[in-house]
Homo-oligomer: A and B are copies of this chain.
Amino acid sequence: MSRNEFSCDCNVIHQEAVDEVLQKMPNEDTFNHLADLFKLIGDTTRCRILFALDQSEMCVCDLANVLNMTKSSISHQLAVLRRSGVVKCRKSGKEVYYTLDDEHIVKLFEIGLVHINHKG
């Protein structure tokens, strides 16, 4: 199936290395999920929302004030984050309160921040 139809336009130069790496490569789904996760936090607005929610539970208006953006923008991004399962919300009166619902996000941020300090 996947290995029988070739899209690459060149020959293998180091067959051993290629075979060895091919064996260790995770499947397509894994890479798609991995890329989706990083894509999710690869946006300034979502980064800031998640960072804020890591400090404190917040409603949409508070987030809009912290980020200095419209409620609509924030709400759209919160919907994305909610669909991906990294934040959860509870309703109380007119307001909807959001919290971070994923332990790994903060760890990724920590390593990311170390990375930034190491480079320019």
Contact = CB atoms under 8 A, between A and B. Distances in A.
How big is the A interface, by class? 35 or more
Interface of A: 2-3, 6-14, 17-18, 20-22, 24-26, 30-44, 46-48, 51-52, 55-59, 61-62, 64-72, 85, 95, 102, 104, 107-109, 111-116, 118-119
A33 B2 CA distance: 36
The 9 closest A-B pairs by CB, nearest first: A39-B42, A38-B42, A42-B42, A8-B64, A104-B115, A10-B61, A35-B44, A21-B55, A38-B41
Task: Say how many copies of this protein the assembly contains.
Answer: 2
B22 A66 contact: yes
Nearest to A104: B115
